[in-house]
Amino acid sequence: MNYEEFIFRMKEIKEMGFVQSHREGPTGIGKTLEDLLGITENNIAGPDFSIYELKSARRDSVSMLTLFTKAPQPEGANKELLRVFGYRQRKKPVGYKQMTLIGDIEDESRIPLEEKELHVTVDSIKPNSVGLKLEVDGKKTIVRNDKGVEAYYDENTLRKAFEKKYRKLIYVLAESKREKGKEFFKYSEAYLLDGFSFEKLSRLVSEGKMKLDLRIGHYPDGRLHDHGTGFRILPKYLPECFDKMERLV
């Protein structure tokens, strides 16, 4: 599907009014729109069609969108964050024994690295539950902590991750309603967003609007598993990440 075909189809979808969701839950809005457009669902870090990435959101949604996923620098930072700030995995890896209890208290310092996970959100407002906080320092976005763990993103890394996912972004807003336990969407607006801006992204981080989700754990065999460490944002702030915004529908 090319750009002109997309615009034509989006106008048709808008005229359809409310359409029942093709999937229950938060991802129903994207799945339904992709089905209506004839786009195959994918989890690949690249455009959805042609050179365009497609994002859809419920109007006034409080569910955050993943902008892109990227492990922090330097190499091995995720492993070190996990080692220092991780806690016991909820699902125990195969082949590891339950750790010995000292009285009624579990000695977390003795938890093997292979049994740890770290699923936390980090922002610039205040340190989170494990003591991590985001901070913009010049051309770097840093995961600050008082344990001496180095973890950061520089401008070039963020630019490459952003542009790999968003050469151009088409952002679709939908009204949502529920009837008899089913959700329905009316896709009423579409915008073209273009142009990476490190300055705008940094400002969103500093204001606490852009957050970082660390989702690190292990496979059952003990290998490190990054479940999708990435930057997340509320849909209403998404246009603020881009230099240009043009209404399409």
Q: Which DSSP string do the residues of 125-140 spell out, in sequence order? A: SS--TTS-EEEEETTE
Angstrom distance (rounded) from CA 142 to CA 146: 13
Nearest by Cα to 145 from 135, 158, 136: 135
Give the global pTM: 0.78
139-152 b/e (C-beta count within 10 Å ≥ 16 → b): eebbbbbeeebebb
Please list the residues that pair with 58 across neighbouring strands: 174
Give me the pLDDT at residue 101, please: 41
In the block, tokens 């003795």 appear at 110
Burial label, 12 (beta-carbon count in 10 A; 0-12, 13-18, 19+): exposed
| Both structure tokens of 154 | 């520089």
Share of the chain above pLDDT 70, in %: 88
Query: How, if at all, do strands 52-58 and 168-179 pair?
Result: parallel
Instruction: Note the pLDDT tens digit of each residue in 67-84.
Output: 899 999 999 999 999 999
- Model pLDDT for residues 3-38, shown as the tens digit of each residue: 899 999 999 999 999 999 999 998 899 999 999 999
Domain that holds residue 158: 3-247
CATH number reported for the structural domain that contains residue 242 in this entry: 3.30.70.3570
* Strand, helix or coil for residue 42: coil
Q: Whose CA is closest to 69, among 241, 222, 199, 216?
A: 216
Task: Tell me the pLDDT tens digit for each residue of 81-131.
Answer: 999 999 988 765 555 444 444 444 455 556 778 788 999 999 999 999 999
Number of domains in the chain: 1
